[in-house]
Structure 1
Amino acid sequence: MKLADPLSLPCGAQLPNRIAKAAMTEGLADKDGQPTPELEKLYGIWSDGGAGLHLSGNIQIDRDHLERPGNVIIDRMPTPEMREALMRWTAAATRGGNHFWAQISHAGRQTMKPVNPRPKAPSAVKLVLPGGQFGVPVALTETEILNLISRFGQAAQICKEVGFTGVQIHAAHGYLISQFLSPRSNLREDRWGGSLENRARFLMFTINTVRQLVGPAFPISVKLNSADFQRGGFAFEESIQVARWLQDAGVDLIEISGGTYEQPKLLGIEGLEAAEPQNIAETTLAREAYFVDFAKAMKDELSIPLMVTGGFRSASAMEQALKTGAADVIGLGRPLCVLTDAPKRLLSGMAILPKTETQLALLPDWLAGLRKIKLIRAIDGFAVQYWYYSQIYALGRTGRTNLEMSVFSALREVEKYQKNWLRERRS
């Protein structure tokens, strides 16, 4: 199996190759959550880059529960202007002949205070993070839960109408559906909490609702944590069972990821508490790709196609993951922020994605010893993430990256951009 090989999905759709641009938050929508010309430019560039599948960043189904300022929002029937903006975006993002899937999400308790100081969540369990950036959540009522499931379905139907070629339901990284799945954040005693079957009910109802509205031939994907890597959280054995249920429900692709804001394994960042070990055999391939061993163990139990994202840099590791059955699709994220045509280069024979960004760190070398402190390491890792946000901004605005930007400059730019967005939203 090669990176250039097409992939036929259970619904009948076909991906032209095995490389995907993974979902990355863009923050480029306007104050109403409408796609902008910057988003069109960004995704046009990525579409020209050669990946067979592109996943959008978080498209939120509730404007009061954003992952960050600048998310695209589909929480109601779109105005003519919104519909046209969405159609321009999908046209640009598919001009290379690739698929473009909408990642549909709800941030739940991981909504920042400036957006919503009292976000809704499965239970009133606050994030354990320093800084006071997140408020105490309010537990959802039964009526609110059913309404949110309907909103996921409506958003998926709208996405199909405006030109997306598939959808991905975000059930990972500690966002709302992930919160339902985790016994650490879901303390409910009704039909939405307790047993794994109950905790997975929100996800399974959402999948069934989306499928009814988009039809049998439209790709549905789910982004699922292999584990939360937290004590008392969603564990790997539970993830396999949920994946079996998703396969039985007719999902076309599962993307394997892991972690939450409290334990950001997805970013390769160490959380404030030690990561909870999982019962999984390790291979040398996992030294490059974070979640490949979890996907391999899942593949032994499933027939559904799997996508693995996180850490891939060499073509040999990508091909090995395909050949060993650990993955059917290879997701690339950060590399495409600095090398937008990386998929084309890999398909043409490039062996290793070059490290084209500058040496990134919030702390100067003379303070490097402070990185031994766990909190400092976590802050440093999140600061680097802002540098990648700035590259996405630059691509959307100018079509070019700004690799000389420092992490400090990126922090200032992103903070200023988000504050201006919030100010415009309130005006």
Structure 2
Amino acid sequence: MNDGITLKSPLELKPSLIIKNRFFKSAMSEQLGDDNHNPLPGLARVYRRWADGGVGLSISGNIMIDRTALGEPKNVVLDDESDLASFQKWTGAATANGTHFWAQLNHPGKQSPLFLSKTPVAPSAIPLGTGFDKTFNPPRALTESEIIGIIDRFGNCARLAKEVGFTGAQIHGAHGYLVSQFLSPRHNQRKDKWGGCIENRMRFVLEIYKSMRRQVGEDFPIGIKLNSADFMKGGFTENDSMQVVDALSKAGIDLIEISGGTYENPSMVGSGKNRDEADLKREAYFITYAEGVRRKISTPLVVTGGFRTAKGMQEALKSGATDMIGLARPLALDPDLANAASNDTDYRIDVAPVSTGIKYVDRMILLDITWYEQQIHRMSQGMEPKAGLSPWKTVWSSLSSMGVYAFKKRRA
């Protein structure tokens, strides 16, 4: 139990690195990259808004390590071809008021839609599940030299992130992207040292961490977003996850954010389908799993998803199951949430389901992501979020900004 910890308490990750409070802005899809995949000016505006709202640590949306491997058409890419000045403007705004800002680094693997990838890559040549064949091309298996190349790209991207002013980096190891694919025996059926037993399947993420650490040094924090499980038959299990957490902790990872699910079974967007009954009563997704992790390691943890009240957030901290409160959609609706919840023990935010009333349209446009994306776009233009924003406006805005691509399936 952490009876003395409050939402306002600072968190020391390293002796020289202190997060000012316990509010963690988790990554959300932004779709605010320009035609060359550099950050648009609006990203600086929206992250400054969250910094002014009191967030202690913000995580960017997906920053792709390879411009030939995109998850979405307007992804930001950070590599040797990037306009570093545009990134510096973004980080300068996002780190106002002592806020930390970390780059979430990602490779989509086979979760790259067919209009972006003719032949995506993956650990094994295994396509996504039934129903995805019309939107995702079957992948080919990576060669060992390509695997080494991707590991090196993660390290180079981390070096550039440090150079342009990010105060840390997070590996995206969840939600069915490439790192998650390597960890899953469902998707990784390799017979070499990169597949098979969990020790081999976790080799990829451990080598990524080592590559990043070599490039940025010991003082630059590195975290990971990791699934508690992917909730797929024959997939990544909680037992697997516990072993990966233990290995990463021993390797020196600085912060572990706990999530769950994949694009095929998107538990991370909150249907509650795979949530523990105890978690439902305590607001937060995956908090029971986090309690199990806490018994194994002392590395700081973040639990993201489900938090709606200041009391629920405070109770989660008090329990010791999490060290930071991970928030995503609530911050897209109330960018001042951190300040408000810090000062009002009765603070509550309602995040209602969003629907056009036509399930096919909702699924096609992935409305539970794109509607919040539109709220981020409003803030990027200097406007406030709008809780009453019409779902149909989101549909038409997506169509007008992305054309036919808006009807391609998307990832969280």
| Cα pair distance change 1:67/1:55, threshold 3 Å | same
Match runs of 1:10-409 below 5 Å? 10=14, 12-74=16-78, 76-79=79-82, 82-130=83-131, 132-269=134-271, 283=278, 287-355=282-350, 360-363=354-357, 379=363, 382-409=366-393
C-alpha distance after superposition, 1:173-206 (max 9, x if no partner): 1000000000000011111000101100110001
**Residue 289 of structure 1: how far off its partner (Å):** 1.1
The gaps in structure 2 that reach 5 residues or longer are 407-412
Do the aligned residues in 2 keep the contact of 1:129 with 1:262 (CA within 8 Å)?
Answer: no
**Residue 353 of structure 1: how far off its partner (Å):** 2.7
The letter for the 2-side match of 1:173 is H
What is residue 367 of structure 1 aligned with on the other side? Answer: none
Calculate the aligned-residue CA RMSD, in Å.
Answer: 2.2
Calculate the TM-score normalised by the size of structure 1.
Answer: 0.89
The letter for the 1-side match of 2:300 is P
Structure 1 distance, partners of 2:99, 2:93, is: 11
Q: What stretches of structure 1 move > 4 A for 4+ residues in a row?
A: 284-287
Calculate the TM-score normalised by the size of structure 2.
Answer: 0.92
How many residues align structurally? 401
**Residue 290 of structure 1: how far off its partner (Å):** 1.1
For the residue of structure 1 that corresponds to 2:293, the secondary structure is: helix
Greater Cα offset, 125-134 or 237-246: 125-134
Structure 2 distance, partners of 1:282, 1:327, is: 18
**Residue 362 of structure 1: how far off its partner (Å):** 2.4
**Residue 129 of structure 1: how far off its partner (Å):** 4.8
**Residue 384 of structure 1: how far off its partner (Å):** 2.7
For the residue of structure 1 that corresponds to 2:97, the secondary structure is: coil
Percent sequence identity over aligned pairs? 43
Aligned to 1:417, which of 396, 401, 404?
A: 401
For the residue of structure 2 that corresponds to 1:96, the secondary structure is: helix
Do the aligned residues in 1 keep the contact of 2:48 with 2:94 (CA within 8 Å)?
Answer: yes
Structure 2 distance, partners of 1:303, 1:377, is: 44
**Residue 390 of structure 1: how far off its partner (Å):** 1.0
**Residue 419 of structure 1: how far off its partner (Å):** 3.4
Structure 2 distance, partners of 1:384, 1:239, is: 27
| Cα pair distance change 1:175/1:314, threshold 3 Å | same
The letter for the 2-side match of 1:57 is G
Structure 2 distance, partners of 1:286, 1:260, is: 24
Structure 2 distance, partners of 1:227, 1:191, is: 22
Structure 1 distance, partners of 2:76, 2:345, is: 34
The letter for the 2-side match of 1:267 is V
